[in-house]
Homo-oligomer: A and B are copies of this chain.
Amino acid sequence: MNYRLVIGRLGLLFGLLGLVMLATAALFAIAQSFGVRRDPDFTAVLALCIAGGVGIVLAGLGWLIHRNAPGYLGRREALLLVAMSWLLGAALAALPYWVWAHLNTEHVLHPFRSFVDCYFESMSGLTTTGATVLSDIEAMPHSLLLWRSLTHWLGGLGIVVLFVAVLPGLGVGGKRLFNVEAPGPSPEGLQPHIRETARYLWYIYLGLTLTQIMLLWVFTPLDAYYSVCHTFATMATGGFSTQNASIGAYAATPAVDIIVILFMVLAGMNFNLFYKIVRGRGREVLRDTELRVYICLLAGGAALVSLALWMSPDAITMTTGDEISSTAGAAIRQGVFTTVSIQTTTGFATSDFNAWPFLAQGVLVMLMFVGGCSGSTGGGVKVIRVWVAFKILLAEIEHIFRPHVVRPLRLGRSTMDIDLKLGTLAYLIGIIALFVMGSGAVMLLEQLNDASDCTYTTAATATIASLCTIGPGLDQVGATQNYGWFSGPSKAVLSMMMVLGRLEVFAIIVLFSPRFWRDV
Protein backbone atom coordinates (compact mmCIF):
# COMPACT_ATOMS: atom_id res chain seq x y z
CA MET A 1 0.00 0.00 0.00
CA ASN A 2 1.42 3.33 -1.09
CA TYR A 3 0.41 5.45 1.91
CA ARG A 4 2.42 8.52 0.92
CA LEU A 5 0.52 8.80 -2.33
CA VAL A 6 -2.83 8.48 -0.54
CA ILE A 7 -1.81 11.12 1.99
CA GLY A 8 -0.74 13.43 -0.80
CA ARG A 9 -4.10 13.16 -2.56
CA LEU A 10 -5.94 13.65 0.74
CA GLY A 11 -3.92 16.81 1.19
CA LEU A 12 -5.30 18.10 -2.12
CA LEU A 13 -8.83 17.48 -0.85
CA PHE A 14 -8.11 19.27 2.44
CA GLY A 15 -6.64 22.16 0.54
CA LEU A 16 -9.73 22.39 -1.65
CA LEU A 17 -12.06 22.32 1.34
CA GLY A 18 -9.90 24.94 3.09
CA LEU A 19 -10.04 27.22 0.04
CA VAL A 20 -13.83 26.93 -0.17
CA MET A 21 -14.09 27.83 3.53
CA LEU A 22 -11.81 30.84 3.07
CA ALA A 23 -13.78 31.91 -0.01
CA THR A 24 -17.05 31.68 1.95
CA ALA A 25 -15.53 33.75 4.76
CA ALA A 26 -14.20 36.29 2.26
CA LEU A 27 -17.59 36.58 0.60
CA PHE A 28 -19.26 37.44 3.88
CA ALA A 29 -16.47 39.78 4.94
CA ILE A 30 -16.75 41.67 1.65
CA ALA A 31 -20.56 41.73 1.86
CA GLN A 32 -20.27 43.03 5.40
CA SER A 33 -17.92 45.81 4.34
CA PHE A 34 -20.55 46.85 1.78
CA GLY A 35 -23.24 46.63 4.48
CA VAL A 36 -25.09 43.81 2.71
CA ARG A 37 -26.64 40.96 4.72
CA ARG A 38 -24.32 41.33 7.63
CA ASP A 39 -23.88 38.24 9.67
CA PRO A 40 -24.82 39.46 13.17
CA ASP A 41 -22.40 36.90 14.62
CA PHE A 42 -19.01 37.67 13.06
CA THR A 43 -17.38 34.76 14.94
CA ALA A 44 -18.79 32.45 12.25
CA VAL A 45 -16.68 34.12 9.58
CA LEU A 46 -13.68 33.88 11.89
CA ALA A 47 -14.38 30.19 12.49
CA LEU A 48 -14.47 29.58 8.74
CA CYS A 49 -11.12 31.36 8.38
CA ILE A 50 -9.52 29.29 11.14
CA ALA A 51 -10.85 26.01 9.76
CA GLY A 52 -9.84 27.05 6.25
CA GLY A 53 -6.34 27.76 7.54
CA VAL A 54 -6.17 24.31 9.10
CA GLY A 55 -7.16 22.83 5.74
CA ILE A 56 -4.38 24.72 3.95
CA VAL A 57 -1.82 23.66 6.57
CA LEU A 58 -2.89 20.02 6.23
CA ALA A 59 -2.61 20.33 2.47
CA GLY A 60 0.94 21.62 2.93
CA LEU A 61 1.82 18.72 5.22
CA GLY A 62 0.34 16.31 2.71
CA TRP A 63 2.45 17.85 -0.02
CA LEU A 64 5.59 17.49 2.11
CA ILE A 65 4.90 13.81 2.77
CA HIS A 66 3.80 13.10 -0.77
CA ARG A 67 6.66 14.99 -2.43
CA ASN A 68 8.42 12.71 -4.89
CA ALA A 69 6.34 9.72 -3.77
CA PRO A 70 6.88 6.89 -6.21
CA GLY A 71 4.33 4.74 -7.97
CA TYR A 72 0.82 5.19 -9.24
CA LEU A 73 -2.63 5.12 -7.65
CA GLY A 74 -3.56 1.42 -7.71
CA ARG A 75 -6.88 -0.13 -6.91
CA ARG A 76 -6.31 -0.48 -3.18
CA GLU A 77 -4.86 3.01 -2.88
CA ALA A 78 -7.87 4.43 -4.71
CA LEU A 79 -10.27 2.61 -2.40
CA LEU A 80 -8.43 3.82 0.68
CA LEU A 81 -8.39 7.35 -0.71
CA VAL A 82 -12.14 7.32 -1.36
CA ALA A 83 -12.93 6.05 2.14
CA MET A 84 -10.57 8.51 3.83
CA SER A 85 -11.82 11.43 1.73
CA TRP A 86 -15.22 11.12 3.33
CA LEU A 87 -14.16 9.98 6.81
CA LEU A 88 -11.45 12.63 7.28
CA GLY A 89 -12.99 15.22 4.97
CA ALA A 90 -16.05 15.27 7.23
CA ALA A 91 -13.80 15.94 10.22
CA LEU A 92 -12.28 19.00 8.52
CA ALA A 93 -15.68 20.16 7.28
CA ALA A 94 -16.96 19.92 10.87
CA LEU A 95 -14.29 22.25 12.15
CA PRO A 96 -16.04 25.58 11.34
CA TYR A 97 -19.08 24.50 13.41
CA TRP A 98 -16.96 23.42 16.35
CA VAL A 99 -14.67 26.46 16.32
CA TRP A 100 -17.69 28.80 16.06
CA ALA A 101 -19.38 27.20 19.10
CA HIS A 102 -16.16 27.53 21.11
CA LEU A 103 -15.38 31.11 20.08
CA ASN A 104 -18.39 32.45 21.89
CA THR A 105 -19.32 31.68 25.50
CA GLU A 106 -22.98 32.32 24.66
CA HIS A 107 -23.07 28.98 22.87
CA VAL A 108 -22.22 26.89 25.89
CA LEU A 109 -25.37 24.82 25.47
CA HIS A 110 -25.24 24.71 21.67
CA PRO A 111 -25.07 21.19 20.16
CA PHE A 112 -22.00 22.24 18.14
CA ARG A 113 -20.01 22.38 21.40
CA SER A 114 -19.70 18.61 20.99
CA PHE A 115 -17.45 17.50 18.14
CA VAL A 116 -19.57 14.38 17.55
CA ASP A 117 -22.51 16.65 16.73
CA CYS A 118 -20.36 18.75 14.38
CA TYR A 119 -19.05 15.59 12.70
CA PHE A 120 -22.62 14.26 12.34
CA GLU A 121 -23.72 17.53 10.74
CA SER A 122 -20.81 17.71 8.32
CA MET A 123 -20.99 14.00 7.44
CA SER A 124 -24.72 14.51 6.88
CA GLY A 125 -23.78 17.37 4.57
CA LEU A 126 -21.00 15.68 2.60
CA THR A 127 -22.97 12.46 2.17
CA THR A 128 -25.96 14.57 1.01
CA THR A 129 -28.12 13.09 3.78
CA GLY A 130 -29.52 16.25 5.30
CA ALA A 131 -30.15 15.00 8.83
CA THR A 132 -29.43 17.76 11.31
CA VAL A 133 -28.69 18.07 15.03
CA LEU A 134 -29.95 21.66 15.04
CA SER A 135 -33.32 22.47 16.52
CA ASP A 136 -33.22 26.15 15.60
CA ILE A 137 -31.62 26.49 12.19
CA GLU A 138 -32.76 30.08 11.64
CA ALA A 139 -30.73 31.20 14.66
CA MET A 140 -27.48 30.15 12.96
CA PRO A 141 -25.18 32.67 11.27
CA HIS A 142 -25.74 32.86 7.53
CA SER A 143 -22.13 32.19 6.67
CA LEU A 144 -22.17 28.87 8.54
CA LEU A 145 -25.47 27.92 6.88
CA LEU A 146 -23.95 28.64 3.48
CA TRP A 147 -20.99 26.41 4.38
CA ARG A 148 -23.49 23.78 5.50
CA SER A 149 -25.24 23.90 2.11
CA LEU A 150 -21.86 23.90 0.37
CA THR A 151 -20.94 20.59 2.03
CA HIS A 152 -23.99 19.12 0.28
CA TRP A 153 -23.03 20.53 -3.06
CA LEU A 154 -19.38 19.45 -2.81
CA GLY A 155 -20.39 16.01 -1.59
CA GLY A 156 -22.89 15.60 -4.42
CA LEU A 157 -20.30 16.63 -7.00
CA GLY A 158 -17.80 14.22 -5.47
CA ILE A 159 -20.28 11.34 -5.59
CA VAL A 160 -21.25 11.88 -9.20
CA VAL A 161 -17.63 12.12 -10.33
CA LEU A 162 -16.70 9.13 -8.19
CA PHE A 163 -19.47 6.84 -9.34
CA VAL A 164 -19.62 7.84 -12.99
CA ALA A 165 -15.96 8.57 -13.74
CA VAL A 166 -13.70 6.93 -11.14
CA LEU A 167 -15.17 3.79 -9.59
CA PRO A 168 -16.39 2.07 -12.78
CA GLY A 169 -12.77 1.91 -13.85
CA LEU A 170 -11.95 0.21 -10.57
CA GLY A 171 -14.78 -2.28 -10.84
CA VAL A 172 -16.33 -1.15 -7.56
CA GLY A 173 -20.06 -0.80 -7.14
CA GLY A 174 -20.74 -2.88 -10.21
CA LYS A 175 -19.38 -0.98 -13.18
CA ARG A 176 -21.75 -2.85 -15.46
CA LEU A 177 -24.64 -1.17 -13.67
CA PHE A 178 -23.53 2.19 -14.87
CA ASN A 179 -24.20 2.50 -18.50
CA VAL A 180 -20.92 4.36 -18.87
CA GLU A 181 -18.82 5.29 -21.82
CA ALA A 182 -15.60 4.41 -20.07
CA PRO A 183 -14.13 1.03 -20.88
CA GLY A 184 -12.50 -0.51 -17.82
CA PRO A 185 -8.98 0.85 -18.11
CA SER A 186 -5.95 -0.55 -16.34
CA PRO A 187 -5.02 1.45 -13.25
CA GLU A 188 -2.13 3.06 -15.07
CA GLY A 189 -4.25 4.25 -17.92
CA LEU A 190 -7.01 5.53 -15.70
CA GLN A 191 -6.18 9.19 -15.61
CA PRO A 192 -6.92 10.70 -19.05
CA HIS A 193 -10.37 9.22 -19.47
CA ILE A 194 -11.41 10.06 -15.92
CA ARG A 195 -10.31 13.65 -16.38
CA GLU A 196 -12.39 14.10 -19.50
CA THR A 197 -15.55 12.51 -18.09
CA ALA A 198 -15.13 14.39 -14.82
CA ARG A 199 -14.86 17.68 -16.69
CA TYR A 200 -18.12 17.04 -18.54
CA LEU A 201 -19.87 16.07 -15.31
CA TRP A 202 -18.64 19.23 -13.66
CA TYR A 203 -20.08 21.35 -16.48
CA ILE A 204 -23.43 19.56 -16.29
CA TYR A 205 -23.62 19.81 -12.51
CA LEU A 206 -22.65 23.46 -12.57
CA GLY A 207 -25.09 24.20 -15.39
CA LEU A 208 -28.01 22.60 -13.62
CA THR A 209 -27.07 24.38 -10.39
CA LEU A 210 -26.90 27.81 -12.04
CA THR A 211 -30.22 27.18 -13.83
CA GLN A 212 -32.01 26.33 -10.59
CA ILE A 213 -30.51 29.32 -8.79
CA MET A 214 -31.72 31.65 -11.54
CA LEU A 215 -35.20 30.09 -11.60
CA LEU A 216 -35.62 30.38 -7.83
CA TRP A 217 -34.25 33.90 -7.77
CA VAL A 218 -36.35 35.19 -10.67
CA PHE A 219 -39.65 33.39 -10.23
CA THR A 220 -39.97 33.19 -6.44
CA PRO A 221 -39.61 35.62 -3.56
CA LEU A 222 -36.34 33.90 -2.50
CA ASP A 223 -33.34 36.22 -2.70
CA ALA A 224 -29.93 35.17 -4.04
CA TYR A 225 -28.67 33.77 -0.72
CA TYR A 226 -31.67 31.53 -0.08
CA SER A 227 -31.81 30.51 -3.75
CA VAL A 228 -28.19 29.40 -3.62
CA CYS A 229 -28.53 27.50 -0.32
CA HIS A 230 -31.65 25.63 -1.42
CA THR A 231 -30.24 24.90 -4.86
CA PHE A 232 -27.10 23.37 -3.35
CA ALA A 233 -29.29 21.13 -1.19
CA THR A 234 -31.54 20.20 -4.14
CA MET A 235 -28.88 19.36 -6.72
CA ALA A 236 -27.05 17.19 -4.19
CA THR A 237 -30.35 15.56 -3.12
CA GLY A 238 -29.22 16.71 0.32
CA GLY A 239 -32.05 18.36 2.16
CA PHE A 240 -30.46 20.96 4.46
CA SER A 241 -32.64 24.06 4.48
CA THR A 242 -32.00 27.46 5.99
CA GLN A 243 -35.50 27.43 7.45
CA ASN A 244 -36.77 25.51 10.47
CA ALA A 245 -39.85 24.53 8.46
CA SER A 246 -37.73 23.43 5.47
CA ILE A 247 -39.41 24.14 2.12
CA GLY A 248 -42.70 24.33 4.07
CA ALA A 249 -41.65 27.88 4.96
CA TYR A 250 -42.48 28.86 1.35
CA ALA A 251 -45.92 27.20 1.30
CA ALA A 252 -47.47 30.44 0.07
CA THR A 253 -45.45 30.23 -3.18
CA PRO A 254 -46.24 27.08 -5.18
CA ALA A 255 -43.49 28.06 -7.65
CA VAL A 256 -40.85 27.08 -5.07
CA ASP A 257 -42.37 23.61 -4.74
CA ILE A 258 -42.55 23.19 -8.51
CA ILE A 259 -38.96 24.27 -9.19
CA VAL A 260 -37.59 22.17 -6.32
CA ILE A 261 -39.60 19.10 -7.42
CA LEU A 262 -38.30 19.45 -10.97
CA PHE A 263 -34.67 19.70 -9.91
CA MET A 264 -34.97 16.93 -7.33
CA VAL A 265 -36.19 14.64 -10.13
CA LEU A 266 -33.28 15.75 -12.34
CA ALA A 267 -30.74 15.28 -9.54
CA GLY A 268 -32.01 11.73 -8.98
CA MET A 269 -31.28 10.82 -12.62
CA ASN A 270 -28.07 9.23 -13.89
CA PHE A 271 -25.77 12.12 -14.80
CA ASN A 272 -24.43 10.06 -17.63
CA LEU A 273 -27.79 10.61 -19.33
CA PHE A 274 -27.27 14.37 -19.35
CA TYR A 275 -23.87 13.73 -20.88
CA LYS A 276 -25.60 11.75 -23.63
CA ILE A 277 -28.08 14.56 -24.23
CA VAL A 278 -25.22 17.04 -24.51
CA ARG A 279 -23.58 14.70 -27.01
CA GLY A 280 -26.82 14.74 -29.03
CA ARG A 281 -27.91 11.20 -28.21
CA GLY A 282 -31.22 12.04 -26.53
CA ARG A 283 -32.95 9.12 -28.19
CA GLU A 284 -30.88 6.65 -26.12
CA VAL A 285 -31.94 8.44 -22.96
CA LEU A 286 -35.61 7.78 -23.64
CA ARG A 287 -34.84 4.06 -24.00
CA ASP A 288 -32.94 3.88 -20.69
CA THR A 289 -34.48 1.14 -18.55
CA GLU A 290 -33.50 2.64 -15.21
CA LEU A 291 -34.91 6.05 -16.12
CA ARG A 292 -38.23 4.49 -17.10
CA VAL A 293 -38.50 2.49 -13.89
CA TYR A 294 -37.48 5.57 -11.88
CA ILE A 295 -40.21 7.71 -13.46
CA CYS A 296 -42.79 4.95 -13.01
CA LEU A 297 -41.89 4.53 -9.33
CA LEU A 298 -42.07 8.28 -8.74
CA ALA A 299 -45.41 8.57 -10.51
CA GLY A 300 -46.91 5.48 -8.91
CA GLY A 301 -45.61 6.38 -5.45
CA ALA A 302 -46.86 9.96 -5.70
CA ALA A 303 -50.28 8.74 -6.86
CA LEU A 304 -50.59 6.28 -3.95
CA VAL A 305 -49.41 8.76 -1.34
CA SER A 306 -51.70 11.51 -2.68
CA LEU A 307 -54.63 9.09 -2.73
CA ALA A 308 -53.97 8.00 0.85
CA LEU A 309 -53.79 11.64 1.95
CA TRP A 310 -56.94 12.59 0.10
CA MET A 311 -58.95 9.66 1.49
CA SER A 312 -57.78 10.30 5.04
CA PRO A 313 -60.26 12.30 7.11
CA ASP A 314 -57.40 13.99 9.02
CA ALA A 315 -56.10 17.44 8.17
CA ILE A 316 -52.54 17.74 6.83
CA THR A 317 -50.13 19.32 9.30
CA MET A 318 -47.54 21.50 7.61
CA THR A 319 -43.97 21.75 8.87
CA THR A 320 -44.82 25.30 9.94
CA GLY A 321 -47.43 23.87 12.31
CA ASP A 322 -50.40 25.11 10.24
CA GLU A 323 -53.13 22.64 9.49
CA ILE A 324 -54.71 22.51 6.05
CA SER A 325 -57.67 20.39 5.01
CA SER A 326 -56.84 17.45 2.77
CA THR A 327 -58.55 18.60 -0.41
CA ALA A 328 -57.57 16.90 -3.65
CA GLY A 329 -55.28 19.80 -4.54
CA ALA A 330 -53.52 19.88 -1.19
CA ALA A 331 -53.19 16.07 -1.15
CA ILE A 332 -51.62 16.05 -4.60
CA ARG A 333 -49.25 18.92 -3.83
CA GLN A 334 -48.07 17.42 -0.53
CA GLY A 335 -48.08 13.88 -1.88
CA VAL A 336 -46.01 14.66 -4.97
CA PHE A 337 -43.53 16.89 -3.15
CA THR A 338 -42.95 14.43 -0.33
CA THR A 339 -42.71 11.37 -2.58
CA VAL A 340 -40.18 13.04 -4.86
CA SER A 341 -38.25 14.39 -1.88
CA ILE A 342 -38.10 10.95 -0.23
CA GLN A 343 -37.39 8.78 -3.26
CA THR A 344 -34.69 11.06 -4.58
CA THR A 345 -33.39 10.91 -0.97
CA THR A 346 -33.37 14.69 -0.71
CA GLY A 347 -35.41 14.95 2.45
CA PHE A 348 -36.92 18.42 2.08
CA ALA A 349 -40.28 18.62 3.84
CA THR A 350 -43.34 20.76 3.39
CA SER A 351 -45.70 18.79 5.61
CA ASP A 352 -45.19 16.54 8.60
CA PHE A 353 -45.62 13.00 7.23
CA ASN A 354 -45.27 11.64 10.74
CA ALA A 355 -49.04 11.89 11.13
CA TRP A 356 -49.93 10.52 7.70
CA PRO A 357 -51.92 7.31 7.26
CA PHE A 358 -50.01 4.04 7.14
CA LEU A 359 -50.42 3.54 3.39
CA ALA A 360 -48.62 6.81 2.70
CA GLN A 361 -45.89 6.11 5.26
CA GLY A 362 -45.41 2.56 4.04
CA VAL A 363 -44.95 3.68 0.43
CA LEU A 364 -42.50 6.36 1.53
CA VAL A 365 -40.39 3.95 3.60
CA MET A 366 -40.22 1.49 0.69
CA LEU A 367 -39.15 4.27 -1.68
CA MET A 368 -36.50 5.31 0.86
CA PHE A 369 -34.78 1.99 0.26
CA VAL A 370 -35.06 2.26 -3.51
CA GLY A 371 -33.60 5.76 -3.81
CA GLY A 372 -32.39 7.46 -6.98
CA CYS A 373 -30.72 6.20 -10.13
CA SER A 374 -27.16 4.95 -10.32
CA GLY A 375 -24.72 7.74 -11.15
CA SER A 376 -26.98 10.38 -9.60
CA THR A 377 -26.51 12.31 -6.39
CA GLY A 378 -29.42 10.30 -4.91
CA GLY A 379 -28.86 7.58 -2.31
CA GLY A 380 -30.68 4.36 -1.52
CA VAL A 381 -29.88 1.04 -3.16
CA LYS A 382 -30.57 2.62 -6.59
CA VAL A 383 -33.44 1.94 -8.94
CA ILE A 384 -31.40 -0.30 -11.24
CA ARG A 385 -30.53 -2.76 -8.48
CA VAL A 386 -34.16 -3.12 -7.45
CA TRP A 387 -35.07 -3.73 -11.08
CA VAL A 388 -32.32 -6.32 -11.56
CA ALA A 389 -33.35 -8.13 -8.36
CA PHE A 390 -36.98 -8.12 -9.49
CA LYS A 391 -36.06 -9.69 -12.83
CA ILE A 392 -33.91 -12.34 -11.13
CA LEU A 393 -36.74 -13.28 -8.76
CA LEU A 394 -39.16 -13.71 -11.65
CA ALA A 395 -36.64 -15.88 -13.46
CA GLU A 396 -36.01 -17.99 -10.34
CA ILE A 397 -39.73 -18.65 -10.02
CA GLU A 398 -40.00 -19.91 -13.57
CA HIS A 399 -36.84 -21.95 -13.03
CA ILE A 400 -38.68 -24.08 -10.47
CA PHE A 401 -41.28 -25.53 -12.77
CA ARG A 402 -39.31 -25.27 -16.02
CA PRO A 403 -35.72 -25.98 -14.95
CA HIS A 404 -34.55 -26.58 -18.49
CA VAL A 405 -35.78 -23.29 -19.94
CA VAL A 406 -32.96 -20.75 -19.86
CA ARG A 407 -33.96 -17.19 -20.68
CA PRO A 408 -31.07 -14.73 -20.66
CA LEU A 409 -32.04 -11.71 -18.57
CA ARG A 410 -31.65 -8.46 -20.43
CA LEU A 411 -30.91 -4.99 -19.18
CA GLY A 412 -31.62 -2.60 -21.99
CA ARG A 413 -29.69 -4.07 -24.90
CA SER A 414 -27.13 -6.06 -22.98
CA THR A 415 -27.44 -9.40 -21.21
CA MET A 416 -26.92 -9.55 -17.45
CA ASP A 417 -23.92 -11.69 -16.65
CA ILE A 418 -23.75 -13.86 -13.58
CA ASP A 419 -21.35 -11.57 -11.69
CA LEU A 420 -23.75 -8.69 -12.12
CA LYS A 421 -26.64 -10.78 -10.79
CA LEU A 422 -24.71 -12.11 -7.83
CA GLY A 423 -23.19 -8.73 -7.04
CA THR A 424 -26.58 -7.01 -7.11
CA LEU A 425 -28.26 -9.51 -4.80
CA ALA A 426 -25.24 -9.54 -2.47
CA TYR A 427 -25.38 -5.74 -2.31
CA LEU A 428 -29.06 -5.76 -1.39
CA ILE A 429 -28.50 -8.37 1.32
CA GLY A 430 -25.52 -6.37 2.57
CA ILE A 431 -27.61 -3.20 2.83
CA ILE A 432 -30.37 -5.03 4.68
CA ALA A 433 -27.81 -6.56 7.04
CA LEU A 434 -26.33 -3.11 7.68
CA PHE A 435 -29.80 -1.71 8.26
CA VAL A 436 -30.52 -4.41 10.84
CA MET A 437 -27.15 -3.99 12.56
CA GLY A 438 -27.41 -0.20 12.52
CA SER A 439 -30.94 -0.14 13.95
CA GLY A 440 -29.89 -2.66 16.58
CA ALA A 441 -26.84 -0.67 17.55
CA VAL A 442 -28.79 2.60 17.81
CA MET A 443 -31.54 0.93 19.83
CA LEU A 444 -28.99 -0.65 22.16
CA LEU A 445 -26.97 2.53 22.63
CA GLU A 446 -30.12 4.52 23.32
CA GLN A 447 -31.34 1.93 25.82
CA LEU A 448 -28.00 2.11 27.64
CA ASN A 449 -28.56 5.88 27.81
CA ASP A 450 -31.16 6.13 30.56
CA ALA A 451 -32.43 9.53 29.46
CA SER A 452 -33.66 8.20 26.11
CA ASP A 453 -36.90 6.48 25.23
CA CYS A 454 -36.13 5.83 21.58
CA THR A 455 -38.83 3.72 19.89
CA TYR A 456 -38.22 0.87 17.45
CA THR A 457 -39.74 2.94 14.65
CA THR A 458 -37.37 5.81 15.45
CA ALA A 459 -34.24 3.65 15.53
CA ALA A 460 -35.22 1.84 12.33
CA THR A 461 -36.18 4.91 10.29
CA ALA A 462 -33.22 6.96 11.59
CA THR A 463 -30.97 4.17 10.32
CA ILE A 464 -32.67 3.96 6.90
CA ALA A 465 -32.70 7.74 6.63
CA SER A 466 -28.93 7.73 7.27
CA LEU A 467 -28.01 4.68 5.23
CA CYS A 468 -30.03 5.84 2.24
CA THR A 469 -28.98 9.49 2.78
CA ILE A 470 -32.50 10.86 3.13
CA GLY A 471 -32.55 12.86 6.34
CA PRO A 472 -35.92 12.78 8.05
CA GLY A 473 -37.48 9.49 9.17
CA LEU A 474 -40.56 8.75 11.24
CA ASP A 475 -41.56 9.18 14.89
CA GLN A 476 -38.84 10.97 16.90
CA VAL A 477 -36.82 11.78 13.77
CA GLY A 478 -39.84 12.95 11.74
CA ALA A 479 -39.95 15.89 9.37
CA THR A 480 -40.29 18.46 12.16
CA GLN A 481 -37.85 16.77 14.55
CA ASN A 482 -34.08 16.56 14.48
CA TYR A 483 -31.27 14.18 15.47
CA GLY A 484 -29.84 16.38 18.22
CA TRP A 485 -31.37 14.36 21.07
CA PHE A 486 -29.54 11.12 20.16
CA SER A 487 -26.64 10.16 22.40
CA GLY A 488 -23.11 10.73 21.09
CA PRO A 489 -22.41 7.05 20.30
CA SER A 490 -25.67 6.80 18.34
CA LYS A 491 -24.71 9.86 16.33
CA ALA A 492 -21.36 8.23 15.58
CA VAL A 493 -23.11 5.04 14.42
CA LEU A 494 -25.52 7.02 12.25
CA SER A 495 -22.61 9.01 10.76
CA MET A 496 -20.99 5.70 9.79
CA MET A 497 -24.29 4.54 8.27
CA MET A 498 -24.34 7.68 6.12
CA VAL A 499 -20.86 7.15 4.73
CA LEU A 500 -21.43 3.41 4.25
CA GLY A 501 -24.62 4.06 2.32
CA ARG A 502 -23.14 6.93 0.36
CA LEU A 503 -20.07 5.02 -0.80
CA GLU A 504 -22.15 1.91 -1.55
CA VAL A 505 -20.88 0.04 1.49
CA PHE A 506 -18.06 -1.98 0.02
CA ALA A 507 -15.72 0.99 -0.38
CA ILE A 508 -15.79 1.37 3.41
CA ILE A 509 -16.19 -2.22 4.46
CA VAL A 510 -13.00 -3.31 2.69
CA LEU A 511 -11.10 -1.32 5.31
CA PHE A 512 -12.18 -3.91 7.89
CA SER A 513 -10.82 -6.80 5.88
CA PRO A 514 -7.33 -7.81 7.09
CA ARG A 515 -6.52 -8.99 3.57
CA PHE A 516 -7.06 -5.47 2.23
CA TRP A 517 -4.05 -4.18 4.16
CA ARG A 518 -1.77 -7.05 3.25
CA ASP A 519 0.54 -6.36 0.32
CA VAL A 520 0.36 -9.04 -2.39
Contact = CB atoms under 8 A, between A and B. Distances in A.
Contacts of A258: none
A359 B448 CA distance: 10
Q: How many copies does the complex hold?
A: 2
B401 A75 contact: yes
A171 B398 CA distance: 12
A421 B444 CA distance: 33
Contact of A401 (B79, B401, B403): B79
A366 to B, nearest CB: 7
B421 A422 contact: yes
A182 interface: no
Interface string A355-387: 001110010001000000000000000000000
A51 to B, nearest CB: 33
Interface in A385-431: 389, 392-393, 396-398, 400-403, 418, 421-423, 425-430
A283 interface: no
A443 B362 CA distance: 9
Contacts of A200: none
A362 B444 contact: yes
Contacts of A400: 79, 171-172, 506-507, 510
A515 interface: yes
Contacts of A396: 422-423, 426-427, 430, 506
Contact of A422 (B362, B425, B513): B425
Contacts of A516: 401
A486 to B, nearest CB: 15
A422 B397 CA distance: 12
A509 interface: yes
Contacts of A172: 400
Interface residues of A, number: 46
A243 interface: no
Interface in A320-375: 357-359, 362, 366
Contacts of A440: 362, 366
A396 B422 CA distance: 9
Interface string A179-221: 0000000000000000000000000000000000000000000
Nearest to A392: B426
Nearest to A506: B400
Contact of A358 (B429, B443, B457): B443
Contacts of A423: 396
Contacts of A432: 432
A436 interface: yes
Contacts of A392: 422, 426
A276 interface: no
Contacts of A444: 358-359, 362
Interface of A: 75-76, 79, 171-172, 357-359, 362, 366, 389, 392-393, 396-398, 400-403, 418, 421-423, 425-430, 432-433, 436, 440, 443-444, 447, 456-457, 506-507, 509-510, 513, 515-516
